[in-house]
Amino acid sequence: MVSGMFKEAKRLGYFDGVNPAQDTRRLLFERAPTRWNRSRRFLPCCRNRRATIFAVAACTGLRRGEIEGLDWSNYRDGELNVSRSSWNGEAVAPKTLKSKAAVPVIRPLAERLEMHRLRCSNPQTKVAGAAPAVPEGPIFKTSENTPLSLHNVVNRQILPALNRCSHCCLTEGLPHLEAKECPGYERDQSIPEWQGFHAAWRGLGSNLYRLGVHEPVIQRILPHSNVSTTINYYIKTTAPDVTEAMQKFERDIAEKLVGRNPFVQQPDEPISGR
């Protein structure tokens, strides 16, 4: 980033000299992808709106700003049609042209969105027999009908829900300090730790790849401008994946060698040239 700043400043005439940021590289911090079994443990800890937000990230691959920018008018025909993003509460264009596309909504996510829609539209006021009213404005909104900041949701709702004490079930910080009978804060290890929204997107890419979906298709789902980004950063293989792949290879060989000794030449096999 610093190298790019000096390069642009030199191009515009604000700097004249040798770029001081040379021989630099970007440090990559590995984070574990959120696999589907971890997602199922995570969702009960964060209920209602925050659980729906995480489900959208884990099942669609939308970026944080794109989730903030979702409007109810974007959800139609079983798809989330991404048309904008949100940056500090302001509507902006999506990060890339490929991001401006329709994302299919799977049934479990559609059910969560429907429950969220019912909570937002206040179904108690509906007239019997009338079609359910579709709320207007952002799907995830504040009390002032503005896009909800997911940064605030993480700090104010998700982290307190996950960082609970195993003794008193209160969150760390002031609520726990006020619990006089607790022997001391100790995080409940049965609750998964928060790895960020990127873990949900990496989990989606890894889960799709594990199901046999090809990389170019995963690239379109996430979506990325280059398939190498999908392969290098959003598809993570684990040790069990490697073991399962070798076991699958072993089963394939065993099926082809049923009733045959692999170390004895069969009559129908050509003689080796050696």
How many beta carbons lie within 10 A of that of residue 189, not counting itself? 8
Percent of the chain surpassing pLDDT 70: 71
- The first and second tokens of residue 55, run together, are 């489900």
Tens of pLDDT along 128-153?
555 555 667 889 988 888 888 998 98
For the structural domain made of 31-119+134-239, what CATH number should be given? Answer: 1.10.443.10
Amino acid at 207: N
43-47 CB contacts, 8 Å cutoff, 24+ apart = 45/161, 45/162, 45/191, 45/192, 46/157, 46/158, 46/161, 46/162
Rounded to whole angstroms, the Cα distance separating 164 from 188 reads 6
Of residues 221 and 106, more confidently modeled: 106
Q: Where are the domains of the chain?
A: 31-119+134-239
Give the DSSP H/E element, type plus range, for residue 86.
strand 85-87
pLDDT at 232 over 50: yes
Give the DSSP H/E element, type plus range, for residue 118.
helix 107-121
User: What's the pTM value of the predicted model, to 2 decimals?
Assistant: 0.64
- What is the pLDDT at residue 29? 47
Tens of pLDDT along 171-222?
776 666 666 677 777 888 888 888 888 778 788 888 888 888 887 888 777 7
Q: Determine the average pLDDT of the residues in 99-114.
A: 87
Alpha helices in 130-214 (DSSP H): 150-153, 159-162, 174-177, 197-210
